[in-house]
Structure 1
Amino acid sequence: MSGRILYVTRRVGLVAAHILVYALIWLGLAALIAAVGIRFFWGEISVGQMLMNLVSVETDGGGGAIVWIGILGIGVVPLLITVAIALWRSSRRRRRLRNGNPDSRGTQPFMRPLSTLLVAAVVLAGTTAFATTVGLGDYIKAANSKYDVGDYYVEPTVTSADQKRNLVVIYLESGEATLEDDQLFEKDAFAPLKEATKAEEGWQTVADFQQYEGGGWTMAGLASTQCGIPLKGNGAGGGSATDNGIDEGAETYLGGATCVGDVLDEQGYTNVFLGGANPSFAAKDTFLYSHGYSAVKGLSDWRAAGEPEENFRKDWGLSDQRLMAHARDTLDDLHAEAEKTGRPFNLTMLTLDTHEPVHIYDYCDVDTDSEVTSVFSCSMTQVASFIGYMKEQGYLDDTAVVIMGDHLKHMSAGDAFHEQLDDHENRTIFNRIWVPGETPANSTLRAGSDQLNMYPTILEAAGLTLEGGEAGLGVSAFASEVPGSSAQAMDQEAYTELLGSLSPRFYAKAWAGAGTQQ
């Protein structure tokens, strides 16, 4: 009886050992393929970006084929390879049994340690590649930081709204100012937009405008410039999509933070957002509706409006040319309503054409060896045309305009310009600001600001006066001096650590919608 129990125990242990080995093989392969895929499509990212963005990819107008590539590459392929290995090993064992040699250890003594070494190599390679790709080490360091964003966060206080004016904000997808350099690239991709936003006509620029440390994707760009904080999970639960409250059906996104739309809504503004993609991607619509926007239009709206399929790119959405056409109509309606009611508006837009892999529309003539350069130029031409329309209609007389890239251009393995940008010393974000009546001669914007400072800058461009020029972690670029208590007054090393900190106290309240005051 005891012999039978011992036999069963050994068999169960053997089966469990085999299951563990195959599970480790699957895990190593999945991690390795995921790392390769992430680097190809996005480059090196952060744990926060992975948890908050990649999990929100949409099959329609939010990444398209990337969803199916991910399912096949990370889910199906490693499983098939693992099953194939298991079947191969099983067939070898059956052949040995038929040949009367059930145990090959005597004839092939090196096979078992070699198999163990190979399994260990797959697991180690996969986990190491994945951890490096998503910055797991930085994430662990951030979890142990002594800093908390809440210790420096400033709730914006509007001290005057006597000069409030209409506002248009345009986010340029991957709008990196470095692409202006015609010594590095075939031509200045921003030339059309620069021609429409000349300094001598009153347009201003935040020189050396920086992507915040830890940013680099669209939602991070929106949250940082509209809320003045780094985009992170709630800190308490590791920052998964569910922990963040952005799982399907969630009602708020950073509902405890006060953002541009909240302040403008309180001041009587009508907030409207237009984008070419599916607004559900990365819960962009939830974010906007959570912060004072009354209308968010995207892919499904343009289809319902009768846009023909040739005006869409299958992976993301509507072309910039057609988006700007709809933006003109929306602007006309908003401006007419504002004149009628006295209620100002905020029209926010996000372009799409320059998201790689780029799509060539028939309105874009490729005149460079790199299609990406031409597409950037064509996209800027569309935005410049919109600015020209605003000027023709006289809207620039009572409407502030803020134009800026949402983040630096991605440097994934599949993207262009590695030769020019990988080792570039100072990559910056393109921006232009128009304030009626203001010129570079009488209003100099503070150079070197990062995206967090754009939050109070946008509000002051709209004509609101903020106490201390502060909001979130930012200080308005219109302010020549930075308050000593501001995060912007910290030395660079401490500021970088603050931005990287998981800040569990702050983000738990921000995601819970409970308010962010300590």
Structure 2
Amino acid sequence: MKKIINIVASFLTFILLSIAALICATAKYISNNFANQGIDEMIFYLMSGIEGTSNDVFVTAIKQGTLPFLLIFSFLLIPFIKFKKREHIISLEIRNKKIDIHIFPLRKLRLIYAFLVMLVSLFLSYKLLGFDHYLEQLDQQSTFISKEYVSGRDVAINFPEKKRNLIILYLESMENSLIDKKSGGGWDYTVIPELEKLAKENINFSNTDLIGGAFPVTGTDWTVAALTSTTSGLPLKIPVNQNLYRNSDNFMPGAYTLGDILNKEGYNLEVMFGSDASFGGRRNYYESHGNYKIFDLNTAIKEGKMEKGDKVWWGFDDTHLFKWAKEEITSLARSDQPFSFSFLTANTHFTDGYLESGADDKFNTQYENVYAYSSEQVNEFIKWLRDQDFYEETTLVIMGDHLSMQGGGFFPTYTYEGYKRTIYNTFLNTAVEPDKEKNRFFSSLDMYPTILASIGVEIEGNRLGLGTNLFSERRTLIEEFGFKHVNKHLDRQSNYYNKNILKDDYLELIKQANGNK
């Protein structure tokens, strides 16, 4: 019996120490590679499902995490090493008196030791990843959203008699940093010259008198949150009870979005992703708000455009994205109804991006070369679009979804001290001109009413969601209250958001927590 107890105790000790080492190695990997990602984003993806994630993400994590795990685990096993001289290890003689320093292996206390190590690893990860700040914010309530939110259901939204087509091109992680600092960027040279030229020659809402863009605020700074914030004027918030956003019926059911408005006005709607649209609940959002037709990795395989074995990066590369986007847009343009087509690139996703075989090796880093090729691809797409018969009736909005999350000090290495990183935007062939284009302070939330205004829509009060129409003179919430104030309150819990935006799903979770009473 004693032998069995020892075997079980040793096995449990091994398991606990392995988990502790894994926790520490994982926390270290996340802090190094996802330094710009918040806990709310990580929790969102874990709770909403990570199907569709690029295999490269997991492979990279395993490669970079294995050695730290082994080193930490080996270090934790040191107290169990059998020494040849167990009676004493070091003998000292002080004033003719012999002193033995004994080291006793922790075999008898191994379970207590392993349990304590586990607690320490959890605490270190808790602090390292910022869970303390996240939980602190969950305990704080704010009425900011309830006071400032404007629902599209409550204000007049008037379309022109001749409705314009709308194309929205989201560029993964596209920011203004990679533009020459003389033009408003942060680099000593221009990595994305085509995008720089487009911003100069067309409408570019900027935080300076040069090329600039939007500031990231809480709940808008990762892909799914960026897609929802730019089309609903709302941050993507995770309530205490963890709304899973899994069903097409419960992804922010109380929000009134761009898709809802365009669908009501008779637009044909389609969205394209070069990955699995289910990732992060994107399919659910677009199906529940506008009933979009969705083209993604699975669509391409189903329609015979590619085989499963052809998958690269997150699905298919941006060359195929633009190729198939042209086909879908051409098909939409044949209808008598106006259309809105949205699509999202993927090559510039961190880490280091996906460098296609057709890309030139212009710069010292792969990531720069990926950005440079993306800029070329966008320019080629615009040349094609301008040659189409329907272009004169079509507005094109190009914007980054969020700032790049590339770690390792990549951006601080290339940008100058004090440079403020902002998200890229440019508007082509709009129905109106802005009253004030430069020296505006805004976020992704402001894109929602601004996109509508770009196709000639008049909005009562020039505000929708928490966003302000940048074509108007009305001040944004950041201009009115300041960035820190807005960010602080969006970071906190909002009963209004939970009850009115998450709505039925939130109430259902409350019922479940109370035993369905």
Q: Give the structure-1-normalised TM-score.
A: 0.79
Q: Deviations over 1:136-190 (max 9, x none)?
A: 3144135314445233211022332125311111110010111112675474122
Q: Is the 8 A contact 2:165 2:340 kept in 1?
A: yes
Matching residue of 1:51: 43
Give the distance between the partners of 2:447 and 2:268, measured in 1 at CA.
20
**Superposition map of 1:54-73 within 5 A:** 54=46, 58=50, 61-67=52-58
Given residue 172 of structure 1, which amino acid in structure 2 is its aligned partner? L
Q: Does residue 406 of structure 2 align to residue 411 of structure 1? A: yes
**Which stretch has the larger CA shift, 378-387 or 14-23?**
14-23
Q: Does residue 34 of structure 2 align to residue 30 of structure 1?
A: no
Distance (whole Å) between structure 2 residues aligned to residue 125 and residue 83 of structure 1: 15
Aligned to 1:433: 427
Is residue 194–residue 375 contact of structure 2 (8 Å, CA) maintained in 1?
A: yes
Note the alpha carbon deviations across 1:29-72, whole angstroms, 9 max, x for none.
3331221222343224222101112555656x522143466689
Instruction: Go from structure 1 to structure 2 and tell me whether the alpha carbon gap of 1:327 and 1:269 turns closer, same or farther (over 3 Å shift).
Output: same
Name the CA shift for 1:20/1:137 in 2 (closer, same or farther; >3 Å): farther
1:269 aligns with 2:267: yes
- Partner-residue secondary structure (3-state), 1:53: helix
- Give how far 1:407 is off: 0.4
What's 1:294 paired with? 292
Of the three residues 332, 338, 347, the one matched with 1:344 is: 338
Q: How does 1:276-425 map to 2 (within 5 A)?
A: 276-307=274-305, 314-337=312-335, 340=336, 343-356=337-350, 357-413=352-408, 416-421=410-415, 424-425=418-419
| Contact kept? 1:256, 1:515, Cα under 8 Å | no
Say whether residues 1:218 and 2:223 are aligned partners.
yes
**Kept in 2: contact 1:311–1:318 (CA 8 A):** no
SS at match of 1:400: strand
Once the two structures are superposed, residues 448-497 of structure 1 have per-residue CA deviations (whole angstroms, 9 ceiling, x without a partner) of 211111111111112221111111111111121238xx676224433121
465-474 or 79-88, which deviates more: 79-88
1:169 aligns with 2:158: no
1:100 match? none
**How many residues in Structure 1 have an aligned counterpart in Structure 2?**
477
Partner amino acid, structure 1, of 2:177: T
CA-based RMSD of the aligned residues comes to: 4.1
1:405, distance to aligned residue in structure 2 (A):
0.3
- Contact 2:232–2:445 (Cα < 8 Å) also in 1: yes
Cα 1:84–1:55 shift into 2, 3 Å? farther
1:204 counterpart SS class? coil
Aligned counterparts of 2:199 and 2:495: Cα–Cα separation in 1: 42
SS of the aligned residue for 1:244 comes to: coil
Residue 205 (structure 2) aligns with: 206
Map 1:467-506 → 2, pairs under 5 A: 467-482=460-475, 489-506=480-497
Deviations 1:432-461 (Å, cap 9, x if unpaired)?
A: 012445446x66467121111111111111
Distance across 2 between alignment mates of 1:250 and 1:21: 44
Match of 1:449 in 2: 442
Which residues of 2 match residues 176-215 of structure 1 at below 5 A? 176-181=175-180, 185=187, 187-196=189-198, 198-199=200-201, 203-208=202-207, 209-214=213-218, 215=220
Counterpart-to-counterpart distance in 2, 1:283 and 1:508: 20
In 2, Cα distance between equivalents of 1:515 and 1:445: 40
| Structure 1 Cα separation of the partners of residues 431 and 254 of structure 2 | 35
Q: Does 1:39 align with 2:38?
A: no
Structure 2 gaps, min length 5: 87-99, 208-212, 508-517
Letter in 2 for 1:380: S
- Tell me what 1:253 maps to: 251
Q: Distance in 1 between matches of 2:486 and 2:334?
A: 44
Deviation at 1:320, TM superposition (A): 1.4
Q: Contact 1:272–1:294 (CA<8 Å) still a contact in 2?
A: yes
Does residue 227 of structure 1 match 2:219?
Answer: no
Report the AA paired with residue 53 of structure 2.
Answer: G
Where do residues 40-189 of structure 1 align in structure 2 (5 Å cutoff)? 40-54=32-46, 58=50, 61-67=52-58, 89=80, 108=102, 111-112=105-106, 120=116, 123-156=119-152, 157-163=155-161, 164-181=163-180, 185=187, 187-189=189-191
Structure 1 stretch 34-43 or stretch 214-223: which is displaced more?
34-43
* 1: CA distance, partners of 2:251 / 2:176: 30
Aligned equivalents of 1:63 and 1:349: distance in 2?
18
Look up the equivalent residue of 2:244 and give its one-letter code: N
Contact 1:28–1:127 (Cα < 8 Å) also in 2: no
1:460 aligns with 2:453: yes
Cα 1:464/1:141, change in 2 over 3 Å: same
Residues 43-52 or 208-217, more deviating:
208-217
**Higher RCO (C-alpha under 8 Å, 6+ residues apart):** 1
Q: Secondary structure at the match of 1:144?
A: coil
CA 1:465–1:20: 2 relative to 1, 3 Å:
farther
Distance of aligned partners of 1:380 and 1:312 in 2 relative to their CA distance in 1, 3 Å threshold: farther
Task: Rate the CA distance shift 1:508–1:21 in 2: closer, same or farther, 3 A.
Answer: farther
Mean alpha-carbon deviation: is it higher for 254-263 or for 393-402?
393-402
- Between the aligned partners of 1:419 and 1:364, the Cα distance in structure 2 is 23
- For 2:433 and 2:149, how far apart are their aligned partners in 1? 30
Q: Secondary structure at 2:160's aligned position in 1?
A: coil
Q: Does the 8 Å CA contact 1:405/1:430 hold for their aligned counterparts?
A: yes
The answer as to whether partners of 2:432 and 2:456 remain within 8 angstroms in 1 is no
Distance 2:13 2:141 in 1: 37
The 1:78/1:495 distance shift into structure 2, 3 A limit, reads same
SS of the residue aligned with 1:211? coil
1:5-33 CA-to-partner distances (Å, cap 9, x unmatched) read xx99xx99x99998987676455333312
Match of 1:297, as an amino acid? Answer: F
Structure 2 partner of 1:103? none
User: For each residue in 1:244-269, what CA deviation from the matched residue of structure 2 results, as whole angstroms up to 9, or x when unmatched?
Assistant: 332xx564311221111111111211
Query: 1:402 corresponds to which letter in structure 2?
Result: V
Q: Which amino acid aligns with 2:216?
A: Y
* SS of corresponding position for 2:123: helix
Gaps of 5+ in 1: 1-6, 97-105
* Distance in 1 of aligned mates of 2:363 and 2:483: 39
- Percent identity, please: 22
Question: The residue matched to 1:480 in structure 2 has which SS?
Answer: coil
Which residue identity does 1:458 align to in structure 2? I
Change (3 A) 1:44 1:210: same
